[in-house]
Structure formats: structure tokens, C-alpha cells
Amino acid sequence: MTADPRRLAPREGHMPERDRPRADARAKVTGQATYTTDVRRAGMLHAKVLRSPHAHARIVSVDASRARALPGVHAVLTRDEAAGLAPVGTFVKDWPVIAGDRVRYLGDTVAAVAAVDERTALAALDLVEVEYEPLPAVTDVGAALAEGAVEVFPEPPLGIVPHYGQGASGALRPLPNVPYEFRFTMGDESAWDECDHVFTDEFRFSRMNHMHLEPFVTVAEATDEAIEVWSAAQSPFPLRRDLATVFGLPENRVRVNVPYLGGGFGAKHGIRAESVAVRLSQLAGGRPVRYCMTTEEVFLTSSQHAAVLRYRTGVKADGTFVARSAEVLLDGGAYSDLSPLVAEKAGYRAAGAYRWRYLDSVARAVTTNTVPASAFRGFGGTQATWAGERQVDLIAERLGMRPYELRLRNMKDLGELYAPGETPIDSDLKEGLRIVAEAIGYADRDRSGNRGMGVAVGIKDGGGVNKPAQARVKVTTRGDVLLQCALTEMGQGGHSAMAALVAEVLGCPRERVRYAPIDTDHSPFDQGTNASSGIAVMGSAVTQAALRARDAVLQFAADQLGGVDPAGLTLEDWTVVDAAGERHPLVPWIMHTFGGTGFEFTGEGFFKATNSDLAPLEAPCIFWEVGWAAAEVEVDPDTGKVTLLQLVVSGDAGRVISELGARGQDEGAAVFGLGQALFEEMRFEDGCLLNGEALLYRVPLAEDIPERFTSITQEQGHAAGPFGAKGLAEGTMLPVAPAIAQAIADAVGAQLTELPMTPARVWAALRAREASEAAGAPAAG
Amino acid sequence: MTADPRRLAPREGHMPERDRPRADARAKVTGQATYTTDVRRAGMLHAKVLRSPHAHARIVSVDASRARALPGVHAVLTRDEAAGLAPVGTFVKDWPVIAGDRVRYLGDTVAAVAAVDERTALAALDLVEVEYEPLPAVTDVGAALAEGAVEVFPEPPLGIVPHYGQGASGALRPLPNVPYEFRFTMGDESAWDECDHVFTDEFRFSRMNHMHLEPFVTVAEATDEAIEVWSAAQSPFPLRRDLATVFGLPENRVRVNVPYLGGGFGAKHGIRAESVAVRLSQLAGGRPVRYCMTTEEVFLTSSQHAAVLRYRTGVKADGTFVARSAEVLLDGGAYSDLSPLVAEKAGYRAAGAYRWRYLDSVARAVTTNTVPASAFRGFGGTQATWAGERQVDLIAERLGMRPYELRLRNMKDLGELYAPGETPIDSDLKEGLRIVAEAIGYADRDRSGNRGMGVAVGIKDGGGVNKPAQARVKVTTRGDVLLQCALTEMGQGGHSAMAALVAEVLGCPRERVRYAPIDTDHSPFDQGTNASSGIAVMGSAVTQAALRARDAVLQFAADQLGGVDPAGLTLEDWTVVDAAGERHPLVPWIMHTFGGTGFEFTGEGFFKATNSDLAPLEAPCIFWEVGWAAAEVEVDPDTGKVTLLQLVVSGDAGRVISELGARGQDEGAAVFGLGQALFEEMRFEDGCLLNGEALLYRVPLAEDIPERFTSITQEQGHAAGPFGAKGLAEGTMLPVAPAIAQAIADAVGAQLTELPMTPARVWAALRAREASEAAGAPAAG
């Protein structure tokens, strides 16, 4: 890997903490860091779960009496013991802790056991007798929406529709097997009349697994009156809310502790292993229960949304984009979880990076008898970008234009609105595209030998919907800092970045800043670690908290100096420098004023986007997350095998807070995109997952990374986050697959519309191309 | 016990939470409540300590090699492994974790072992070979101050003197075996010239043990870089500071968690079991180490200060008090711990409840080869009240006046200053004395049958020195509350009282308020739970936090109502009532504004007395803690046995926040005073504690409580705490022994000057009285 020097150039002044390694590096490489999987509680029991072998079946009977009698078993949970628990779901409450009258996918939770060890728990599961009556299953969106399809929920569960602003609306269960439909419209529908060409194309997007190395794992201690969990949870407060809902407790009786996470990528939102462990702990008289899933169980618990996207796009003869209608069908699996939100985002993001006079979209979450789909890095934006960028290439080919120029012609300008009431675009999209094109040598590319290049861009509204975040900084007598905020450390480097912000504001080395353990009883409230929100949302709250703590210190110093103006004072590593440059150590003042135990100065920070009635959702987005990619491939026309020769990715950080962190996000997201482009796919057959284990599920390997792999973290400086920063982590993933697809077309003319672009699919597209050329017209394959 | 109805009369309006049982009652009586002794960590080791069998000796050698070799032993701590650790002490750093070149009392810490269980640890201690060279010991203050006495610290350890205001000063090591001397002067020394009589008397005060039912206990997990303890600690942040000092870490790398405490009474200040457990955990590679002392070890770790008090007092012929010089010698035991602060308080409180034209005092902490003395309920005030109140009785007898009238003649008025710059007296002292005298029937008392009555008063400056306290309230989407503050629950009912304050402000039932676990990483800073400071200091911070949270909620509601004035809104159990009386539930507004996960409203509170240059210490006291007592006794003149017939005690709560809590404090303190009056005494012989176990150390039993035991919690309403409240817990203890002593004199003429007033001492005083009467003059015995 090479690093472009451009990303090292700071915008204003020097931020001393930006070029430091991660704060948790040493603890992690020495094995000192505590993950949930390391949590051990005295007297801890171990849970295992019995899962459905059917994609869809009625449960006739469950007999767990022999399991209960097994020595070492402390609790057995069947639908009887789960009867009083509420099901969960963000808008539609449909996912029960234990399946009730029926199982809805192969892997559904039927019973659970807590025992002295995992082996005993597994032995007990073997003794649970379940009688099923198999039912017909719908295992993809086509089958689920077909006339007369079996209904996964014959009686619709409870649901709510969020509030919307202009242009957007949502509907619960507009069709059988569709729990939620989102619609969005902007502009003037008469724009269609101005189109010289209207193209309709369909794109398919397969289902990835998150492949977080740490499985879903939790340790729960619970009674009927109070719950405490240690959990691998991205978003502690949403988990608290969900557990409070399931178990009918006030939120202040549920305590969520979150150690380090071994990756999340969206999967660790909401309840995963927790409800089973909590209920087992209650049944075991409050003894702690650990439930750590196997990788195979993780595959059966959460996934990305497979999608079918139909884009109808009208353009002028000169290539100007005019109007688009997008229809998106997302395979939500058996339970709705976050599918409604993913549908909203997939629908809302149909415009891509381009200017339209009219746009409408409808996005449906579809229920199937497969593994539930949930949040996944990109969150609907990946699906939308795949379809949108691919259609640009198809249109370019049809119009005889170059994909690169067609993009520049239609791309939104810096500061332009995406939709009425939205945050103006805060990156120069064209500049970014030029940077990656230039870095890969697009203009002078050599297409010989079945080689070709492609460029693409992806944008998503970043930072989450309407997220309030709070943070708190405590500074001890000697100037050491405790930072309290619920941003979880999932590997993304968030804790290092937050500490760097505090250190920058307080004028101290980052080592002085300790991130307090995340604990919902104490941590300031936060809506969750998601949507690349860390730097822009929580970072803003943290920066404000640090500024307020610094102001409190300087005001104290000003008082000690006889009432000078605190604005003339600066703080340098716990020494106050006055306007005349004289240095005043703080410790003696503090001890004199507050007595022998000293004091803690504190500052509170809060951030939330202002709500807007004009916005399609409830607040304009926090920032625009943008990624650009350029790829060079070589395609073997006989086998369809694609060799990635070069990959250039770039994100716009606005302002880099943590250099290695930003680079890690850009490069990590790129590799995710690469996996999606060429390899990754959860393959189902009649609702049965065929490759649901680590050895069978193909992710990018080190050898798949091209030798020429360049990341360029731009610092365009247009963002509103702390020091001009904005989020990374998802943006750079979006354009990778489209850039590679365009490169394949550039190399051999095959236009792929389905992911991943396996040799078989490339080979098929090449054959379709040949057939179509023989028939005299270009075609999508 | 009977309860006077006076204490039920609220001053203004009704506070709905005041007549509720304690919030922790159910958890405690059902055994659900977690104390430190219940804390179990996975892989936890158990510690035991080898203690010195000599009162004073040089350690020639320590050989722990055989202990280290014992299977099951994971760490052995001798002076070698403790070499780098700093000793502790509030002003004088003299108490090492493990004795170095010498042991200084019988019970001093010589070595410690962490093993798989306590039995193995004890077996290992048997294998530690220590060679001692005994040294001469000084085992009381007389011996320690004698010419040529052996010095316990031949080389004085490091110390600091605090800052003082007018009239007060401190000196380190003014004499051999005196680590600290406090001096205080107020008024005009020429007042002595106006005295018609000058009386000098000496009083003796024995050493009590705290007798907290829960021993010193801690669980530590520590590396060289970070420490976490769960500990029975009254004051989490001072413990954090002390551990940071001993182990050379920044305070933000030390985390102190405090579960429920089973009593403290001053003993659980500072490091007790912690440093040994922490170091053993470090030596055991970070494995958790539990160290739970036996009751016998507790007796060898901390105690009250025995004292000799010499009061020289000048009065006019009509009984008007004029001038006093007090000399106080406090037996601090082997290590200074909090002795300097206790000396300050014993010296400062020499004025008692009375008006003086001149007062000076000197109070010396004296080092002896006995168990270290530390904070103890009353904190020097008990010693001062014993001497001061007793001398009033002696003077009354000498002047032929009645003790009751002599008190009223000289007592300070409400609002009068105790000393220049001090907080004005915030109780009507005379009114309180009248209340207890009336309640016991003092005016019409029947002195037949060797019966008699006595009344007394005690006051102390309450709330601690210069204490800053912070608190935080978080209110969830549905109006449930998390209260964050580091006030520990030692049985005093502090958590219930704090929750009641929050409930009162937020207009919700107390059940909605949950006290977040105390954890120095998260809890707002607080200087400690001591000096009866809970209601007045932390209660003020908590009330402010709740008010700010309420204001945030009402401002939010005002915005939702289109910008109405929030002053016109009230909060009633999470519903906002507008000026027109219309009710608006908050949850829908919150969900609409902040999104699906909701929000937490927060408020921060802070309280600290304003520093004052005029005050003898750094800030005027927070409030005056006052107790009154009246006692009726019957004395057997042949045996000296005292039977307590009736006891009336009264404190001034200012305003009662928690009725059962206030009553519990008044009655509990009275029983402490009763134990001190008649029973309790740690008896030493040549530095060896003779009765250092629960069966030998005599505390008041249920049968010792008189049938007629009345507590009257006054609500005088003059205090500045929340809703007019001020602290209880110590005041009512102060006057009990003096009232009983006066009753004994009233019954049989014997004037006791030494505590406890055992039958032997009463008998001796009776004989002295008879001898003195035979010689024609009254005398102190």
C-alpha cells in the first residue's frame, strides 16, 4: 500500500495528536484489552440455543422436561417461559425472543439452556423434543411478492410509522409480506416530458455477511426487577431501550456495559444474544449467564439486505440527467429489525451524486423465510450506489459517452442541495473524481490485453437520523482526564479520535485522556455508534464538553489571578499561561481552594442537528459522506476471472483528526467494497444457508488486495464537524464495486448488473454481450 | 421507644416522600443488597496479613521463601515488594503499606499473601519467618510525652501544614512523638483579668472502637498501569487519591467502586484493606484479590482517639463565662492518619455552646505504639463536649448554681457567631435545651432513691471542611431517573434522602429514582461522605442537579408549546401542566424531537461553601450540628452501678427530608453516646489490646436501652440546606455522656471525669466524694 502525501497536509496549524498510533494499540496487541468475550463473572453459566431446522413451520409441541432434568442445567427457556416478553423491531414489533406458534426461518430460536458449561448446555439441547409441522416457505423477494404467496405473518404485528417532512412518507404493510414501504418524491413530475431517452434497468445486489471477528456475545445478570448486561453492542442506549421494552422494565433498571467490540459493521445494533441470556439469568435466580454465539450462529442471526433495484431514468440527448423513478425491493428476511430504516435510506439515496429535475422512489422491505437482515455498513446506500452508478455506465454506453465525462456533466456542485431542506453538499464531488482518476492514470489508460479502468462515486447522507449525543469530560486535580461518552470502540478508532479531540482542546498529550468504561447508568446519553457519526456527532459533543471544561479551568484561574479576563489565558498541559506569558501551575491553586482531596473540573457537551419540517426525515443530515474509487482490472475472457490490478480509493475527511484512523477507515471500507464486488455472497437454497461458516464464506484475502492499492484521505475542509472534520467509514465502500464493474466493461465490454461479479457471472455477461453484438445492439447482462 | 409528635410537624407544605421507608429496605432485608463482602470476581484470590506481635520492634529479617513455595500461593508481599510504595497520611505521610525497618504497634502489617483460598493464605503466613529485635514502647500519651521517651519516628516523615485563617495555626512535630499541633485563639486575652474565679480541671476520654458490622474489605484488580477496587469505603474520591499516591499513578487510572457499606462511623475513610490487596493483585499478574479482615484485625486497624483534656476556665461570680484555655492531648496511635484533623476539630470546638470573651486552645496529636486512631463519629467534638459540658457542671457545683440555669445563662443565641468569620449559629440552643428538659420532666424531678437527672448540649461545626460536592441527574425518555453522586450508603439512609430530594423536585414518586452505582470513573466528584455532610452538602448539589434537569424539561416543553414561558409550567410525574391547567405528556414530544431511541435530560449540581480568609480553616462551616440530651439515672451507691431510667435526645434537622432516616440518626447516635458513657473502651496493657474482639468489647445491648427512650427531631428551620435541612448523625451523640454524668452527680453527688463511667469508676468517685466531703470541700473525682 502507498499513501498519497496529499492526505498529510493539514488545513490549518498543526494538530499534534493526529499522527499518533491508536490509543488502544498496545492493549490490543498485548492481549490486555477486554472484549465482552473476556468478561467472566463469578458463578457464570453458559447458554446454548436450539434453532429451527425448517425455513417455515408450525411448532406443534415443545417438551423440555428431559433437558431440565439433566444435571448441570440451571435454566431452560422455551416459548412457555418467554410468553410474557414483548417482541422487538424498530418500527414493527415482530421478532420474539423465542419462537411462539411458528418458526420463520432456518435458524430461528426455539429453545435455550443455561448450564454449568457449554458442553452440558449442548447436551441438554439434544434432549429438547420439538414437533414441527412444515409450512411452505418464501425464500426470496420474488416468491414473497408473488400472487398467492404464503404469508410469513398472517396476522400483522404491531408497528409505527415515523414522522416525515416534505416528499417522504411511509406505510405499514401495504402488501402481503411487505411490513414497510417508503416513498420519496422531489421535483416536478413533468420533467419526464423533457427527456429524450428513458432507460429502465434492473440491478441485483446479493447478501453479504458482516463477518465481524467477534461473534454476538453477552453476559447477563438479571432478576425480574433489574437487568445488567455486558455486551458486544454498537449502540448501548438503543440496546437498553430494547431490553427495557422486551422485559417490561423502566430504562433506569437496565444497565448496559460495553467493553471493546471486535468489529460490528452494523450487525451489533439492537438485541442479538442479549434477550436469551437475560431471560435465562432470570430463570436461574439471577446467576450470570454468558451466551457467546458460534460463527455459524452469527450467520443465522443477521445479514445485509439482498436487493432488486429497478431504475427508470430519463435523460436528454446531450447526457443531461432529468428524471428518475426507482423501485427497490429489499430482502429483509424473517423479522423486520431495522429493515424499514434501511428501506428509507435505499429509497432516499436513489439520486446518487447527481442533479435531477424530478425523482421518485419507492423502497419496500420484504419479509422472506431467510436470515433477518439488518443494518450493514452502507445502510441501503451501497445498494443504491450499485444501481445508480451502474446505470450511469449503461446510459453512457447507450449515448456513446464516456462514463467519466457523463458523471462530471451531471454531478452536483459543492454547496448544492440534495433535496429541499437538506444540508448542502459539503464536498467537491468533481474534484474528488478528478483526484482518483488522476491518481490511477485514467486519462492515459492502456486498454490492451483485456485491461480497463473505471471510476465511480458514492454519496450518502451521513451521521444518522436526528441523533442527539451527549458527552462529559472530568479533569482531575492534576489535569488527568476521564472522558465519558457512549461511542463504542469497534475497531474504528473512535476512542482514539475522541481522546485526540479532548487533548487538542485541553492542550495536553492524549495519554492524559482516559476513556471511561461505557455504562448506560453513567455514560451520557447517545443514540448510537452508527452511520459514520462518531467524529461529526459525538465528536462535536466531546469537543464542546472539553471546551466547557477548559473554560471552567480558565475561569477558575482568572479568579485566582484576581479577576483577569479568562479570554487572555491559555491552558498548556495543566499550566495556565497568562496574557504576559507567565506560567501558573494549577495544582496549588486547586488544593488551596478545594482542600486536600482536590477537585474535578467538568464540562458537558451536547449535539443534535436542528429539526427541520422541510427535511424528508426529521432533521437534515449531519454531513455528506463521500467516497470515490478508481479501479484497473484485467479480465480473462475465457473464464470470466477478474484480476484487480490497481485500486485507488478516496474519502473526504473534511479535516483529519487521527491520521491512521482515517486511513484505516478508507482502506477498510475499500476492502469491504472489494469483497462485495468480487467475492461475498450468502447463498441460500430453499431457505437453507449453504455457506454460513467462516471457511465456506469467501471474503477478500490478503492476496486479493492489489499491489497498487492507494488511499487518499482528502481534507477538503467544508464540513461542519469539529475542526472541520466529518465521518469516514462507509463512503469509500460505496464506489468500489461500480468502479470495478466499469473497469470490466472498459476491458472487455461486459456490463455486469449483479453482485458479486464472480467468474461465472462475468463469463455469462461476456456471452450475453457477444450474443447482443451479434444481434447489433448493446445490452445489459 | 416513643416518638414525640413534634418531629412530625412539617414546616411548610407537605413533602410526600418524607414519611416513606428507606429505599433500600427491601433489598437489605431480603439479602439482595450487594456489599463489598459479596463481590466475587472470576479467578479471585484471597489475602491474609501477617501482623506484628510486638508493640515496637526492629525487623531484623523477613524470609518468605517457604511461603512462596506453598502450592496455591500466588503472591507474597513483604517489605521488599512494597519498597517503591509511598506511605500515606492526611498531613503526615507516615503509614507504610508494609512495615519497613520497624513495626510500631502490635498489629502492624508485616507481610501478606494471596492464595486460592483463605486457609492456604493463612498456612502460608505461618511459613513467613520474621526476626524482630524488640524496642521500648510508648503506649499512652503520658509515656509518649515524657522526658526522654523513645521516639516512634526518630526520623520525622514528610508532612504538610494546611492553610489557616485568623486565629488558627498548625505546626508539624513541635515535640518528639507529636506529629502535629493545632492552636486556636479568639478574643482578647485581657478577659482573664475580669474573672472572679478560674477553675482548672482534667478530663479523660477513653478509646472506642467503631464496631461497624461489616469489616474492612476490598477486592482489587491491579496492574502497574491501572487499579480497580471494589471497597467498603466511605469516601470514594479520597480513597482514589490515596491509592494514586501510594502506587504513583494518575487519579484517572484508579477506579474505585463502592457497593453498600455495613456501617462506617468514620473508620472507612482512606486506605484500610486496599493497598495490600492492590499490591498483591499486581504481584499476582492482575488477578483479582479479595482481602476481608476479621473483626480482630479491624480492632487492630483503626480506633477513636483517647484523650486527656485540661480545661482552665475563668468565670464571674454570677456565673458568666469569660475565658478559657484548653489543652487537648489525643492518642493518635502509631500512624497519624487523620489525627491532625481530629486535633484541629477537638481544639476548635473547645468553646462548646457558650459565649466567651477569650478562648485559646492547643490540641496535639500524639504518637504512641498502639492501634492508629482516625476519624470517628463526633470527630474531636465528642472529646471536647465531654470536657466542656462536664466542666460546666463542676463550675455550677462550685458556684452553687444549677447546671441547667448556668447553661442557659451562657449559651449562645440563635444567629450569634461562634468565631469571627464563622457561620452564625443556626439553631436555637436554649429552645432545644428547654425541649429536652421539659420532655424528661427536669423541673419536677424526683431525686429520691439515689435518682437524678441531667441535661446537656453538644455542638459541632458540621458538614466538613471546605467540601466541594457534585451531583448529576439523568432523566430517561419515560421520566425514570438515574441519580449519580458519590455519597455512599453506609446505613445512614443517605441514598433514600437524596432520592427523596430528587423526587420532590421532579414531582415524581421516589421509586422512579435509581441511585447509580458509585464509581469514580463516572460519579461526579465529591470530597467524601463524612462530617454529617450528606443532606447539607451533597443534598444541595443533588437538589441543584434535579432543579436543572427539571428546568431543562420545562424549557423543552415550553418550546414544544410554541415558546411559552417555562415559569408557568409545572412537572407532575412526567406530565407537564401548563398555566391553564392542561396536561401534556412528555413522551410523544420527546420521541418526535429526538427520534426513536429517545433522550435523557440531565442536570448538574455543585455545592461548596465560599472560602473565607477570616475563618479559622478555609471556609466557614456548612451548618451547626446540635444535639441535646436529658437523662435520668438511678445509682447503686454500694456498687457504683448506674441504671439509666430515661433518656431523651434531640437533634435539630432544620427540616426533615426522610423521617425514619432522621429518627434513625438521632436514636443511633444516642446509643453510640450511651455506649461511650457507660460501657465502651478499648483496653490496652503494654500496647497489647486486651478486648479486641466482638465478644469481649462491650457495646450497648438491647437491654441497656431504657424503656423510656424518646427522640425528638426538631425542625427549627434556620438551616441553609435544601428545604431548610441540615445534617444529623453526630450531634445527638455529643451530649449523652455529659447528661448521664450530670444525672449521676444529681443522684449521688459523684462527679465523674473519665469515660466510660463503669461501676468501678462511679464507686471510686463516690468514695472520693465522701473523702472530700469529710475534708469539707466538693471535689472532682
A528 touches chain B (CB under 8 A): yes
> Prior bond to B154 cis, omega within 30?
no
Q: Which of A512, A592, A595 sits opposite B527 (nearest CB)?
A: A595
CA of A515 vs chain B CAs: smallest distance (Å):
9
Report pLDDT for B614. Answer: 53
A273 touches chain B (CB under 8 A): no
Closest-CA residue of chain B to A612: B593
Report pLDDT for A185. Answer: 96
Instruction: Among A44, A227, A466, A521, pick the best mutation site for testing chain B contact (most B Cβ within 10 A).
Output: A521
Instruction: Among A476, A533, A599, A611, pick the best mutation site for testing chain B contact (most B Cβ within 10 A).
Output: A476
Rounded to an integer, what distance in angstroms lies between the CA atom of residue A610 and that of residue A5? 37
> Prior bond to A756 cis, omega within 30?
yes
pLDDT in tens, B47-86: 999 999 999 999 999 999 999 999 999 999 999 999 999 9
Q: Which residues of A touch B465 (CB under 8 A)?
A: 595
Using CA atoms, how far residue A38 sits from A260, A261, A488, in Å, is 10, 11, 17
Q: Which of B250, B598, B602 sits opposite A478 (nearest CB)?
A: B250
pLDDT at residue A727 is higher than 50 = yes
Q: What average pLDDT is seen over chain B?
A: 94
pLDDT at residue A253 is higher than 50 = yes
B252 touches chain A (CB under 8 A): yes
pLDDT at residue A323 is higher than 90 = yes
Closest CA to A413 of A399, A396, A395, A432: A432
pLDDT at residue B7 is higher than 60 = no
Grid cell at residue A335:
423479522
Closest-CA residue of chain B to A467: B594
Is B465 in contact with A595 (Cβ distance < 8 A)? yes
Rounded to an integer, what distance in angstroms lies between the CA atom of residue B146 and that of residue B176? 9
CA of B389 vs chain A CAs: smallest distance (Å):
31
Contact status, residue B343 vs residue B330, Cβ threshold 8 Å: yes
pLDDT at residue A496 is higher than 60 = yes
Contact status, residue A183 vs residue A362, Cβ threshold 8 Å: yes
Cα dihedral across residues B464, B469, B474, B475: positive or negative: positive
- Mean of the pLDDT values across residues B355-365? 98
Confidence of residue A421 (pLDDT cuts 50, 70, 90): confident
Closest-CA residue of chain A to B42: A42
Confidence of residue A618 (pLDDT cuts 50, 70, 90): low
pLDDT in tens, B720-745: 999 999 999 899 999 999 999 999 99
Confidence of residue A9 (pLDDT cuts 50, 70, 90): very low
- Mean of the pLDDT values across residues B688-710? 96
Is B522 in contact with A522 (Cβ distance < 8 A)? yes
Instruction: Among A258, A600, A611, A622, pick the best mutation site for testing chain B contact (most B Cβ within 10 A).
Output: A600
pLDDT in tens, B315-330: 999 999 999 999 999 9
Q: What is the CB-side half-sphere exposure of residue B759 using CA atoms within 13 A? A: 9
Q: What is the 3-state secondary structure (H, E, C) of B16-80?
A: CCCCCCCCCHHHHHCCCCCEHHHCCECCCEEEEEEECCCCCEEEEEEECHHHHHCCCEEEEECCC
pLDDT at residue A617 is higher than 60 = no
Closest CA to B722 of B463, B529, B536, B534: B536
Q: Cell match 480497580: residue?
A: B228
Closest-CA residue of chain A to B91: A596
Q: Which residues of B touch A465 (CB under 8 A)?
A: 595
Confidence of residue B4 (pLDDT cuts 50, 70, 90): very low
Is A482 in contact with B252 (Cβ distance < 8 A)? yes
Using CA atoms, how far residue B503 sits from A650, A775, B479, B578, in Å, is 53, 80, 11, 20
Is B527 in contact with A594 (Cβ distance < 8 A)? yes
CA of B596 vs chain A CAs: smallest distance (Å):
8
Give residues 427 to 486 of B whose Cβ lies within 8 Å of A.
Answer: 465-468, 470, 474, 476-478, 480-482, 484
Q: Which residues of A touch B44 (CB under 8 A)?
A: 42
Closest-CA residue of chain B to A39: B42
B41 touches chain A (CB under 8 A): yes
Closest-CA residue of chain B to A610: B593
Residue A610, burial from CB neighbour count under 10 angstroms (0-12, 13-18, 19+): exposed
Closest-CA residue of chain B to A599: B525
Is B468 in contact with A594 (Cβ distance < 8 A)? yes
Grid cell at residue B221:
484488580
> Apex CA B461: angle with CA B456 and CA B465, to 5°?
155
pLDDT at residue B761 is higher than 90 = yes
Closest CA to B669 of B534, B537, B492: B492
Rounded to an integer, what distance in angstroms lies between the CA atom of residue A138 and that of residue A152? 8
A285 touches chain B (CB under 8 A): no
- Mean of the pLDDT values across residues A689-713? 96
B600 touches chain A (CB under 8 A): yes
CA of A414 vs chain B CAs: smallest distance (Å):
29
pLDDT in tens, A531-588: 999 999 999 999 999 999 999 999 999 999 999 999 999 999 999 999 999 999 999 9
pLDDT at residue B781 is higher than 50 = no
Directed axis angle between helix A759-775 and helix A736-748, to 10°? 50
pLDDT in tens, B169-203: 999 999 999 999 999 999 999 999 999 999 999 99
Contact status, residue A206 vs residue A756, Cβ threshold 8 Å: yes
Confidence of residue B609 (pLDDT cuts 50, 70, 90): confident
DSSP labels, A115-169: ESSHHHHHHHHHT-EEEEEE-----SHHHHHSTTPPPS-SSPPPB------TTEE
Report the range out of A162-176, A676-690, B10-24 with the highest average pLDDT: A676-690
Closest-CA residue of chain A to B526: A599
DSSP labels, A659-707: HHHHHHHHHHHHHHHHHHHHT----EETTEESS-STTTS----GGGS-S
Give residues 193 to 232 of A whose Cβ lies within 8 Å of B.
Answer: 223
- Mean of the pLDDT values across residues A33-59? 97
Q: Which of B42, B480, B527 sits opposite A41 (nearest CB)?
A: B42
B210-227: buried (b, 16+ CB within 10 Å) or exposed (e) per residue? bbbebbbbbbbbbeeebb
Set out the domains of chain B in order of their start, with CATH numbers.
5-33+467-607 (3.30.365.10), 39-351+363-384 (3.90.1170.50), 411-464+621-774 (3.30.365.10)
Q: Which residues of A touch B484 (CB under 8 A)?
A: 521-522
Is B524 in contact with A600 (Cβ distance < 8 A)? yes
Query: Pairing relation of β-strands B57-63 and A451-462?
Result: unpaired
Q: Which of B481, B482, B595 sits opposite A466 (nearest CB)?
A: B595
Report the DSSP beta bridge partners of residue A607.
A469
Is B522 in contact with A523 (Cβ distance < 8 A)? yes
Q: Which of A238, A514, A594 sits opposite B466 (nearest CB)?
A: A594
Q: How far is CA B280 from the centre of its chain?
A: 30
Rounded to an integer, what distance in angstroms lies between the CA atom of residue A112 and that of residue A122? 9
Closest CA to B339 of B306, B309, B311, B293: B306
Amino acid (1-letter code) at residue A558: A
Grid cell at residue B518:
458509585
- Mean of the pLDDT values across residues A187-197? 97
Using CA atoms, how far residue B749 sits from A607, B140, B766, B780, in Å, is 74, 30, 7, 10
Q: What is the 3-state secondary structure (H, E, C) of A300-327?
A: CCCECCEEEEEEEEEECCCCCEEEEEEE
Confidence of residue B123 (pLDDT cuts 50, 70, 90): very high
CA of A559 vs chain B CAs: smallest distance (Å):
13
Instruction: Among A234, A252, A337, A481, pick the best mutation site for testing chain B contact (most B Cβ within 10 A).
Output: A252
Q: Give the SS3 label for residue B305.
A: coil
Rounded to an integer, what distance in angstroms lies between the CA atom of residue A157 and that of residue A471? 37
Confidence of residue B772 (pLDDT cuts 50, 70, 90): confident
**Whole-number CA gyration radius for chain B:** 27
Is B470 in contact with A512 (Cβ distance < 8 A)? no
Q: Which residues of A touch B528 (CB under 8 A)?
A: 597
A378 touches chain B (CB under 8 A): no
- First vs last Cα of chain A: how many Å apart? 34
- Mean of the pLDDT values across residues B228-257? 97
Instruction: Among B46, B242, B251, pick the best mutation site for testing chain A contact (most A Cβ within 10 A).
Output: B251
Q: What average pLDDT is seen over chain A?
A: 94
What is the biggest distance separating any 2 CA atoms in chain B, rounded to whole angstroms?
91
Report pLDDT for A613. Answer: 58
Rounded to an integer, what distance in angstroms lies between the CA atom of residue A637 and that of residue A770? 11
Give residues 101 to 160 of A whose Cβ lies within 8 Å of B.
Answer: none
DSSP labels, B431-478: HHHHHHHHHHT-TT---TTTEEEEEEEEEEEES-SS--EEEEEEE-TT
